[in-house]
Amino acid sequence: MNQDYVLELFFAMKGDLNKINAAIDEKLRKNQIRKITTFETFIKSRITANPKVLRMVNMEITPAEAAYLSMYPDLKELEVLDLRQNHLGNEGLGAIVRSPVIKKLCELDLRSNGITRLGLEMMAGVENLVHLKKVDFRSNQLGKRWETKLKESEFYPELQEVKTV
């Protein structure tokens, strides 16, 4: 299950989150993975309190859940996303930075997520997050040179702070 699968579900179910969740839960049940309805309940409770900030630290978020998160309609006003200490990897990073919903993001914290240079190469060529000012990739598999590469990317004109080590 990846971002394309979740996107297909959103269109097939005409954005009905109950139907989307049921379809995802059915697929996840076979692999005995956390239900997406449980994941959504957490997102909903946090975003209701503050629609501009979402902190989901050390929740064992998978790339599939990152794909779901990237399509979640209530995140359209999100400015700060903290996903430290999860299991996003390059695929989860790709889902977040290519999100058609999360476009107002200013701060992104992805420390300790198993992200490599492949993820940042992909990110450097994506223009969805033009308002991004701060990004933290510490405790991933990245070198200091990525700080300069991302700051120099034409797709991140407001980027001021990048941390990799």
Show me where the domains of the chain are located. 3-163
CA separation for the pair 89, 96 (Å, rounded): 11
Please tell me the class of the 3-163 domain: alpha beta
Predicted structure pTM score = 0.81
CA separation for the pair 69, 84 (Å, rounded): 15
Neighbours of 156 (CB within 10 A): 21
Determine the residue type at 45: S
Q: Between the CA of residue 40 and those of 71, 132, 136, 152, what are the distances in Å?
A: 12, 25, 25, 36
Mean of per-residue pLDDT scores for the chain: 90
The pLDDT of residue 33: 64
At residue 32 the predicted structure's pLDDT band, cuts being 50, 70 and 90, is: low
The pLDDT of residue 37: 78
CA angle 2, 56, 4 (to 5 degrees): 10
Q: Which of 104, 44, 84, 32 is nearest to 68 (CA)?
A: 44
The pLDDT of residue 115: 97
Say which residue, 81 or 45, is predicted with more confidence. Answer: 81
Does position 119 have pLDDT exceeding 80, yes or no?
A: yes
The pLDDT of residue 91: 95
Please tell me the least confidently modeled range out of 13-17, 69-73, 100-104, 144-148.
Answer: 13-17
55-95 pLDDT per residue, tens: 999 998 999 899 999 999 999 999 999 999 999 999 999 99
The pLDDT of residue 7: 79
At residue 1 the predicted structure's pLDDT band, cuts being 50, 70 and 90, is: low
Q: Where would I find the H helices in 110-153?
A: 117-124, 145-152
